Amino acid sequence: MVSNYRVPPTFEEGKPYESWKNEVNIWTRVTDLESKKQALAVALALSGRARDTAMEIPVDDLNKDTGMTTLFAKLDDLFLKEEKDRIYEAYSDFDRIIKEVNMSMADYIIDFEQRYSRMKKYNMELPDPVLAFKLLDTACLDITDRQLALTACSDVTFASMKSALKRIFGEKRGAAAEGISQESVFAAEQRRQKGKFWRQSPHQKTSQLNTPQPGTNPLDKYGRRSKCAVCQSTFHWVKNCPHKADSSAT
């Protein structure tokens, strides 16, 4: 049985107005209603504020070949402005996102995805690497933790960044996450110390090579890693500092 498509698409307030307009434009091309009757049919199928607005148009203006143009112009004044407001609200809500201090990383990622999903409904999408960096930048991490997350990412994608943040900064860090953190910090410190070593004079290098290499300093009473007062290293104290002689000479 072939449909004659005499009943136009209905408009619901929660439905995107532009999508409904597109459905109606498709309908006008498949219905067997004559063009001057189409606007009347659409107006009668409306409800709520849309119907009230359509009923303000004189019947003679709707009952023309240009009736659909007249009807859309009236409805545009009401709904297009609201549509733009909703689009901007969805964008602003996502753009303002920031992780609250007491929010868990898992809850923050859920909130991030929900806000982005609302924005995507209006055809606003970010490239995957940009979305990944947005998630990282708004997670309120310090420089060390941010670098740790980047190190843990297998590639620059949103899925990889989300996985890294959940794995490392979940409510309960597992032993593996702690191992990643300690290993990354230690490696970074070793690279920094190696760079300083090769910039030294031959005498300084000889002196440092003869100095035992201690482990990472313990935490102080405030929970911060104690540092050498001379070179700020967290791997020794002043008594073992290879730069102590340089400091006293100046």
User: What is the 8-class DSSP label of residue 238?
Assistant: G
Residue-wise pLDDT tens digits, 1-40: 445 688 999 998 777 888 899 999 999 999 999 999 999 9
Q: Which residue has the higher pLDDT, 229 or 115?
A: 115
Single out the residue of 82, 72, 81 nearest to residue 42, CA to CA. 72
Q: Which residue has the higher pLDDT, 143 or 171?
A: 143
Task: Report how far Cα 233 is from the mean position of its chain's Cα atoms.
Answer: 35
Asked whether residue 186 carries a pLDDT value surpassing 70, the answer given is: no
Which value, to the nearest 10 degrees, does the dihedral of the CA atoms of residues 146, 150, 151, 153 take? 140
What is the model's pLDDT at position 204?
A: 57
- Across residues 95-113, what is the average pLDDT? 93
- Across residues 190-195, what is the average pLDDT? 55
Q: What residue has token string 């890693």? A: 225
Q: How confident is the model at residue 101 (pLDDT cuts 50, 70, 90)?
A: confident
Q: Which residue has the higher pLDDT, 247 or 23?
A: 23
- How much is the mean pLDDT over the chain? 80
What is the model's pLDDT at position 196?
A: 55
Burial class, 100, CB count within 10 angstroms (exposed 0-12 / middle 13-18 / buried 19+): exposed
Listed in sequence order, the DSSP H helices in 153-230 are 158-169, 175-198, 202-209
Query: Apex CA 233: angle with CA 231 and CA 238, to 5°?
Result: 60
Least confident of 79-88, 93-102, 107-116, 239-248: 239-248
- Across residues 139-159, what is the average pLDDT? 92
Residue-wise pLDDT tens digits, 39-98: 999 999 999 999 999 999 999 999 999 999 999 999 988 888 777 888 898 999 999 999
Q: Is the whole-model pTM more than 0.85?
A: no
Burial class, 68, CB count within 10 angstroms (exposed 0-12 / middle 13-18 / buried 19+): buried
Q: How confident is the model at residue 195 (pLDDT cuts 50, 70, 90)?
A: low
What is the model's pLDDT at position 3?
A: 57
Single out the residue of 154, 145, 218, 141 nearest to residue 178, CA to CA. 145
Residues with Cβ within 8 Å of residue 213, at least 6 apart in sequence: 235
Burial class, 11, CB count within 10 angstroms (exposed 0-12 / middle 13-18 / buried 19+): buried
Least confident of 23-27, 129-133, 212-216: 212-216
Which value, to the nearest 10 degrees, does the dihedral of the CA atoms of residues 11, 12, 15, 16 take? 40
